[in-house]
Structure 1
Amino acid sequence: MHVWDGHCDVLAKLLERPELTFDDPGLDANRARLRSGGVRMQTFAIFLCDRKPKPTMDDALESVRLFQERILADPAFMPIRSQKDVEELSKDLLRTGAMLTLEGADVIEGRTAYLRALFDLGVRAVGLTWNYANWAADGVREPRQGGLTVKGKQFVRECNQLGMIVDVSHLTETGFWELCEMSRRPFYASHSNAYAICPHPRNLKNDQIEALFRQGGIMGLTFVPYFLRKGSGAAIDDVLRHVEHVCGLGGERQLTFGSDFDGINEWVRGLEHAGCYPQLIEALLRRYSETQVRGFLWENARQFFNSALPEV
């Protein structure tokens, strides 16, 4: 089965360690592991927020350069920017799709020109903030737990107008509900789990999940062990508990996966890297039909992005 993985931090590692290549065995989601795991669409996040004291637009542009030179230089990878690209990828079984996102809008600094520049370079989704506050919004670790700023609300309107998809992973609950009220386009959670199963602040509560689905969004379950269960020793069965819960909230056709590979320093037992996806697939098939599993792994994400991305 093919896999659409909605979030990894390969670019952050390549930026931190210039000596690395996309083939380095130290990467969870390197070229060989994506291939062996059946990953035919990988989203690559530009993640800078905890890497530098004050990340800049130059840092984001350097991440884009690495994406182009280390990943897209391989003809086996194709950039995904539009509905047309998604349709082409669905027919081309030899290539792997690669899409850029921005995790935390700090570097945009409220400037429309910066947003448009990143969009022109292929960035197709943006999380308003990471775990803490910035000019746009509060993150889940910010003590005051505020929502969107005035500039943040204007930014959402600009994203809606431009066709940039908004990602609510890392956003406070207050900010989530403000976004629900004002967004005119579907948004999504690239890598979050169910709070009812594991009460971590990065996970979404039941009413948030249901609202996300009503808005036409998708939810990417992630393999961060401490988002899956309290304590240590997370295993594939813990991922399945979140799958079951989200399906129970009506998410069978809106559930996807966003591994967070290369953004974590501990791993789910049996899901240590992208090449382990077949083990998750095997476990899913023991509980769900082949049609349902294909939906979780590929079709749900494909349908969302095939409508949320620009046409061409």
Structure 2
Amino acid sequence: MTINLFISYRQVFLFGLERMNRMRWIDGHCDVLWKMWEAREPISFYDADSPLDVRFPKARAVGIGLQVFALFVSPKMPKESIWDAVLRQVDLFHEEIVRDGSEVAAIGSAAQLENLKDSGKMGALLSLEGADALAGELYRLRVLHRLGVRQLGLTWNHANEAADGVEEDRGGGLTRFGRTLVEEVTRLRMILDVSHLSERGFWDVMEFSDVPVIASHSNCHAVCPHRRNLKDGQIRALVEKEGIMGIAFVPQFVHEPKEEAAVEHLFRHIDHVCELGGERILAFGSDFDGISHKIGGLEDVGSLPYLEEQLLKRYPEHWVRRWMWGNWYDFYRKHLP
């Protein structure tokens, strides 16, 4: 009787540890779907030996509780093919990532997010990276919303019907359609992602008081002056709006020269965000599977325990846990429908 009781307590304890391990991280951006869709041969998210940076066996082992999957299409794609490419990636998400929901659960609401904590499953959330696929048509956004998309990044690096991206020299902001699009995002209770958006476009978005805003994978311009990184005024605006800033692992966003980028350089971005009052908006958006060059020690999702170890050496544990998980979680719990 005593032995059986001991075994029962031990099983409960181990189950608790396993569940906590599964809920250790939220990653705000990866390009798994794009890599799977573009591959000449099928790639399995569930294969431990697949070439994906984020693959289920490693993600589960390191404690990815929720992964945001971007719907991205290369700007080299003919315009008339972009919508089809996005829909095919949505299909990959439902057929190959979420499947029957037994191991990975699609997250589209605050209730589903809350249920994730006790389910033992990994969560998956869909985000559209660039409004190019919409081709100026709001009905397409509504279709994607019904298919589970909950975030919209207005641009990639270039201009489209909604706004200019960061690589457009003219630096334009939101177009007339872009403003209408943000209004529809707000009505649908979706989340707006300003990573890749021009600086003027960023400030145009901030005029909309009701839309929740994130920069899913952007770093600090003051630390590394890449045009994709956010300036101090933008970071302060995100703090004021109670958004989220996901620090990316893209070498050229982290340090110049990019070949020398190291994990230690990430800390400079973290320190700078904190100096601007951003402890509660700070998170991570790896950009795994969207980058060909990696920071040493952060080659794929399996490297996250090393990052956790280094963070805990430098910062208070309660803040590290918020950056790994809590800030993203609280934001989504507040803003998902």
Range into which the TM-score falls when normalised by the shorter chain: over 0.9
Q: For residue 32 of structure 1, what is the aligned residue in structure 2? A: 57
Q: Decide whether the 8 Å contact of 1:127 with 1:166 is kept in 2.
A: yes
**Larger RCO (CA under 8 A, 6+ residues apart):** 1
Instruction: Provide the C-alpha distance between the structure 2 equivalents of 1:184 and 1:199, rounded to a whole number of angstroms.
Output: 30
Q: For residue 92 of structure 2, what is the aligned residue in structure 1? A: 66
Q: For residue 298 of structure 1, what is the aligned residue in structure 2? A: 325
Q: Residues 1-312 of structure 1 correspond to what in structure 2 (within 5 A)?
A: 2-17=24-39, 18-22=41-45, 23=47, 24-50=49-75, 52-54=77-79, 55-73=81-99, 75-92=102-119, 94-231=120-257, 232-310=259-337
Q: Decide whether the 8 Å contact of 1:38 with 1:275 is kept in 2.
A: no
Task: Please tell me the residue identity of whatever aligns with 2:320.
Answer: V
Q: Decide whether the 8 Å contact of 1:160 with 1:183 is kept in 2.
A: no
CA deviations 1:150-180 (Å, max 9, x no partner) are 0001100110011111100000100001111
SS in 2 for 1:286: helix
CA deviations 1:25-62 (Å, max 9, x no partner) are 31100112212322111000000133513242221110
Q: For residue 6 of structure 2, what is the aligned residue in structure 1? A: none
Unaligned runs of 5+ in 1: none
Task: Please tell me the residue identity of whatever aligns with 2:165.
Answer: G
CA deviations 1:206-233 (Å, max 9, x no partner) are 1100101111201000000000001112
Larger radius of gyration: 2
Cα gap change, 1:261 to 1:62, in 2 (>3 Å): same
Q: CA deviation at 1:183?
A: 4.2
Q: Decide whether the 8 Å contact of 2:219 with 2:246 is kept in 1.
A: yes
SS in 1 for 2:157: coil
Instruction: Provide the C-alpha distance between the structure 2 equivalents of 1:110 and 1:305, rounded to a whole number of angstroms.
Output: 27
More helix, by proportion: 2
Q: CA deviation at 1:235?
A: 1.1
Q: Decide whether the 8 Å contact of 1:156 with 1:183 is kept in 2.
A: no
SS in 1 for 2:43: coil
CA deviations 1:70-97 (Å, max 9, x no partner) are 11015110011000011111233x2100
Instruction: Provide the C-alpha distance between the structure 2 equivalents of 1:51 and 1:271, rounded to a whole number of angstroms.
Output: 28
Question: RMSD in angstroms over aligned alpha carbons?
Answer: 1.2
Instruction: Provide the C-alpha distance between the structure 2 equivalents of 1:90 and 1:173, rounded to a whole number of angstroms.
Output: 37
Instruction: Provide the C-alpha distance between the structure 2 equivalents of 1:111 and 1:135, rounded to a whole number of angstroms.
Output: 9
Q: Decide whether the 8 Å contact of 1:157 with 1:183 is kept in 2.
A: no
Task: Please tell me the residue identity of whatever aligns with 1:272.
Answer: E
Unaligned runs of 5+ in 2: 1-20
Instruction: Provide the C-alpha distance between the structure 2 equivalents of 1:298 and 1:14, rounded to a whole number of angstroms.
Output: 26
Count of aligned residue pairs for this structure pair: 309
Task: Please tell me the residue identity of whatever aligns with 2:135.
Answer: E
What percentage of aligned pairs have identical amino acids?
Answer: 49
Moved more, 49-58 or 258-267: 49-58
SS in 2 for 1:45: strand
* Structure-1-length-normalised TM-score: 0.96
SS in 2 for 1:211: helix
Instruction: Provide the C-alpha distance between the structure 2 equivalents of 1:126 and 1:3, rounded to a whole number of angstroms.
Output: 22
